[in-house]
Structure 1
């Protein structure tokens, strides 16, 4: 009895804070390890990220560095962000290990697939931006430049621009996860979301207008996938809703 009581005793606030500190320290170390592994290739990584714009630029033009330290800081900043993105599965694992003891069994069964799928969807959004959106968008920008204007983009400005788009598309691709969470927590039903489909489509284009440059190409390339992801989220939301209904059905429990 004594041992069971000791295991069930809640951890003190100090022990929780110590565990949180250890989890955060492990996450920082993971980012640092990835950063050290990638830093040697920082220039190559920047060239890779800049490739969509460089391929679209007119022949004879190139990117420039207007700041004294930009040739060093831009690749350094990119490598740091890539290190955080690369270590994200481990960071989420540490977050999961911290909160998991306080979750119910059915919450754990739902949380693990959501964590894994959220990481994969974020990476898919960033990949979609790089391989689909960037080539079309930069080709459009370089072709509409007025005559006599040389397209010579600053490397720091370009990095800030593409990082914002990576984040925008990455988080936009998290829409199915948000829908599943809303349905699972009972904040909204699939039927209500389906009835609001027209408003959601308009909202997708508004978000595309706010998060992307002011051109119809990039706005559409964000809005249309968001709408498709909304429909995918509805499918998974229906599955979660049916599963909750089966669990709450006394006849099902009796069987």
Structure 2
């Protein structure tokens, strides 16, 4: 082994900090680039993306109308959302523009940011651990994107429609603050993106020997209670929104049990081959 190879394998604490610093800088730079791009594309970001679920011609509402016609259930068709948006603060729209741009920058840069983090962590793993975690960046990014799409096209619009159509008296009109609407939209969308990572979390925890499919099955009832609590905390305060969050989480928990079982079987087969 040469001195250079030995230096690459045994880095000092300061060298690790320097490497981590550059990974963080590159990650923040990617977020900043996407945030600036989102800030410049103001019309598309707000009219076609952020405010789209507030209009009756949104994709989800149109598909619900088509489903209602097919099922002969006109009540499923959403003709109008009974609310208007307004900005009460003088700097409200500018602040919202900045905040939304930063959130979109974070979302778009997520795959690259995770890749940078993974590049820092990967050299510290054993060769077998590196082999087992192959494709981690792809699957983590894929599940995050699927979760975002579910939140944007299913969870958020259904909750927005329910909350805007709920009235305690016909004389009261719904005039929501822009920040309240965007908070609901982004919170539900990002929460779905994060909760869809549950199968990958189960995969890594099983590989680490922390959990197993038997463990997850034994504590399924406890997990259901925890899922319901999480759904109640991250969703708006209504039963429909909580249900929209809880059902996918329950499904993902069952998928995680299946993944954990597959991982353990493969590890046992590999162990048996090595001993034989």
Q: Partners of 1:191 and 1:104 in 2: how far apart?
A: 26
Output one character per residue of 1:118-141: Cα deviation in whole Å (capped at 9) or x when no partner: 222122112111111222212211
TM-score, L = length of structure 2: 0.83
Output one character per residue of 1:136-178: Cα deviation in whole Å (capped at 9) or x when no partner: 2122112212311221211122222222222221221111122
1:57 aligns with 2:81: yes
Return 5+ residue gaps in structure 2 as ranges: 57-79
Cα drift, residue 67 of structure 1: 0.8
Show the counterpart of 1:86. Answer: 108
Q: Partners of 2:265 and 2:186 in 1: how far apart?
A: 39
Would the alpha carbon gap of residues 16 and 52 (structure 1) be closer, same or farther in structure 2, given more than 3 Å must change? same
TM-score, L = length of structure 1: 0.90
1:228 aligns with 2:251: yes
Cα drift, residue 115 of structure 1: 3.0
Q: Partners of 2:8 and 2:19 in 1: how far apart?
A: 17
Cα drift, residue 103 of structure 1: 0.9
Cα pair 1:176 1:229 within 8 Å, conserved: yes
1:101 aligns with 2:160: no
Q: Partners of 2:89 and 2:55 in 1: how far apart?
A: 20
Q: Partners of 1:140 and 1:2 in 2: how far apart?
A: 67
Show the counterpart of 1:154. Answer: 177
Q: Partners of 1:62 and 1:162 in 2: how far apart?
A: 15
Cα pair 2:188 2:234 within 8 Å, conserved: yes
Cα pair 2:55 2:81 within 8 Å, conserved: yes
Q: Partners of 1:76 and 1:4 in 2: how far apart?
A: 46
Q: Partners of 1:4 and 1:34 in 2: how far apart?
A: 37
Q: How many pairs are equivalent?
A: 251
SS state at 2:21 partner: helix
Structure 2 counterparts to residues 111-122 of structure 1, below 5 A: 111-122=133-144
Cα pair 1:212 1:218 within 8 Å, conserved: yes
SS state at 2:117 partner: helix
Cα pair 2:155 2:188 within 8 Å, conserved: no
1:239 aligns with 2:272: no
1:32 aligns with 2:32: yes
Show the counterpart of 2:198. Answer: 175
RMSD: 2.0
Would the alpha carbon gap of residues 108 and 63 (structure 1) be closer, same or farther in structure 2, given more than 3 Å must change? same
SS state at 2:211 partner: coil
SS state at 1:63 partner: strand
Cα pair 1:57 1:151 within 8 Å, conserved: no
Cα drift, residue 5 of structure 1: 6.2
Show the counterpart of 1:16. Answer: 16
